[in-house]
Amino acid sequence: MSRTASTRRTALRTLASLLAAALALPAAAGVRAEAATPPCERLERGAEPTLGAGRANRPRTSVAVVDRVVDGEHVVLLLEADGEVVDQLVVPREDLPDVEDGDVLLVTVEDGDLVDAAPLDRETARRRRWRRRRLECLRERP
pLDDT score of 141:
83
Tell me what pLDDT residue 53 has: 42
**Boundaries of domain holding 44:** 3-140
| DSSP 8-state secondary structure symbol assigned to residue 6 | H
Q: According to the model, what pLDDT value does residue 64 have?
A: 96
Phi, psi of 84 (to 5 degrees): -120, 145
**Given this model, what pLDDT does residue 142 score?**
78
pLDDT in tens, the chain (142 residues): 455 555 666 666 666 666 665 655 454 445 455 555 566 666 665 555 555 444 444 788 999 999 999 999 999 999 999 889 999 999 999 999 999 999 999 999 998 899 999 999 999 999 999 999 999 999 988 7
Distance CA 46, CA 57 (A): 29
State how far the Cα of 138 lies from the Cα of 9, in Å rounded to an integer.
Answer: 39
Query: What pLDDT is stored for residue 59 in this prediction?
Result: 84
Residue 6's pLDDT is 54
How far apart, in Å, do the first and last CA atoms of the chain sit? Answer: 56
Number of separate domains in the chain:
1
